[in-house]
Structure 1
Amino acid sequence: MMDISQLKLKELLSRYFSIVVVLFPIINTYKSPLPGFDLGTFLLLVGLPMMVMLKQKYSINRLSKPIILYILYILFSYPLAFFSHKQFAHISSFYRLMKFVVIGITVFIVYGEEFFNIILAKKLLKFISILATLLIIAQFIIFYYSGKLLILTPYNIIRIEEYVNQDRSSMAMNFYRPTSFFLEPSHFAQYVILALYFYLFEDLHKKMNIMYAIIITFGLIISTSGIGLLVATVYWLLWLVLEGSSKVSGKKILQTIVLIVITSFMLILSNDLGVLAKTLDRIFLADNSFGPAVISRVFTYQMYSDLPAINKIFGIGYGNIPNGVYLNSIAYTLVVNGILGLLIVFDVFINAFLNVTLRLRILVVTFFILTVISGSFSIVGVTIYFMLIIKSKHNLVVPMK
């Protein structure tokens, strides 16, 4: 039994953990007071000693078990990759490995679902997403009507040098892609589509949800993120199907008409400024071939095909990828963890899909799509997506026979 002081400490740690998880995709790019550690990892580890002392028993949620299996696999397959692959980035790869392992164990075993406050997390996620969207709209308006850049990212404390040294003015003159306070439009998109999901598929009777969803959708359009445009389109189509399958009142019909009118206006506006056309050009070219946004994310498997047979099975070691080389998460997993590692990643998604309700499966599939077309299956992406999936109020686990 816990006394009052322990219960208060538990509540405080729960709030702390939930806030850090929601902020993780943003602060993961910042430097921390501890050299070599990003701010997100640093803050998660700060509360770890108190959590270890406070927690009385440890358990693993059913949806977390394949994630823990993947952590064990990348940990124990690393020595094999170390001795079987000649080109090995010892320090950087070991850091990436330990970050995934330590944060994975910290989040899914030490803290766990027990200390994740889903109500607080969703409120904060929605607030940050709306704020980020309003700021990206402000960036868009200021640039296209004054030619000035509104820079909101604190580049002086960013860990990744390639972003610090970018000539943002020259890049903007060629094709302006606002990012709000994120490093990339795709980072913005992958974050706010979580809020878009909750606005469209949870709390369906709240009138303001549709308006917030429209605002986020507009932000996704002007961000020029192909990922955001794809997911937003699918979400709205699903929303119309799900709403159409329920009782349709006059008010809902009116809301849908207003939605179509507002969305059409936003599309026309962005098309006049060339934003929508340039965004689509990044996905499909004029000759119907794939654009650079697709090629850079999907056709990245040559590195895997060139590996020796043993490395195709076990990989070349988690994190053992040169800086500056971009692979989507499927290609990345194949290269660093081999086909065995990829099978475990597939099990992560299959297990989650089979053990959640219909609406929550939309979020599981969303994260899988992001895994296929982007680098989302990192410990950062896994942490925020799966903590929200595990503790969502729609996560009514179906017993497996």
Structure 2
Amino acid sequence: MKPMLNLVHTFTDLTQGEVGIHGGKGASLITMTGAGMPVPPGFVITIGAFDEFRDVSGLSRLIEQVLGDLDENDVAAVDAASARIRSALEEATIPAAVRGQIDDAYAALMRRIGTETPVAVRSSATAEDLPDASFAGQQDTYLWISGAESVNEHVRRCWASLYTSRAITYRRANKIDEFGLSMAVVVQKMVNARAAGVAMTLDPATGDRSKVVIDASYGLGEPVVSGTVTPDNTVLDKITFAIVRQSVGEKARELVPRGGRLVERDVEADRRSVPCLSSDDVRRVAELAKRAEKHYRVPQDIEWAIDDDLPDGENLVLLQARPETVHGAQPLTASVPQAASTSGFSLGSITASLTRVSA
């Protein structure tokens, strides 16, 4: 029997991630950690684990059979194909050797943190954030997951989300090879977010690269990303970080941890009417976004959070950075303002499948 390859990499195992091994999100998180950015710790279950899972379980053949001559314009057929594939993936057993590596990495992460702490389990596909395509919201993210058994369950769900109806239709419509795809999964310490959101190192409305634009709201950032809250919006000059304009959003709901689970609840009326970030916080977020842009040399779309578990001054963390795909396709040049430092995530870049209750 051939030895099992290392199918799990921590964010600190490498200094540079590879999309073909770690998927888009995983590669970005490894690279940002290697660049010294404030990324919460975690690990990536590489595409090799998913490939092993599909092959050992015989699901590769099933997927080929179901998708082989599928008509993407037949909505009912696509939905039926998606349901059949996802159900099979979610019910199949992860091979023992793969499961052992995932369990070992999870235990090591808990030891590093020093206590049993919830994690986010996030899909990281190889066909993700391509220059001429956007896969935003097509695969799943699960929040506030605790325990090895639940982590493995949600890893399977992330793998299965590669075959949502929306994802299948989009790939077919854009002539993206269905059978060269794979999925990595990121497992990362959850942040206890006082406030969170997204930032872009250009103005998404105009493409103006001399600006940084921040959307922020209370609690975790998923309501901002999914558009279910009206966030505070701040536009800053990229060089001086002076606020050009600012509007206070309604911020009617927040997603916060309570009693070992996530609760979506109403925000008190007096908090809705004031900015959720101080002027110092706004500047720090802008500096972080600019640092990511400087590192990648293309305009960035970042996800960030203020983590209440960390001390003041060290509590701004970077959850994701990706290229801005609408206006930012061209690399930065000497004529484009760049700043000294900074980090991020994208408007509408995921639609999270949340483990939560409403309150």
TM-score (norm 2): 0.26
Greater radius of gyration (CA):
1
- Give 1 or 2: higher helix fraction: 1
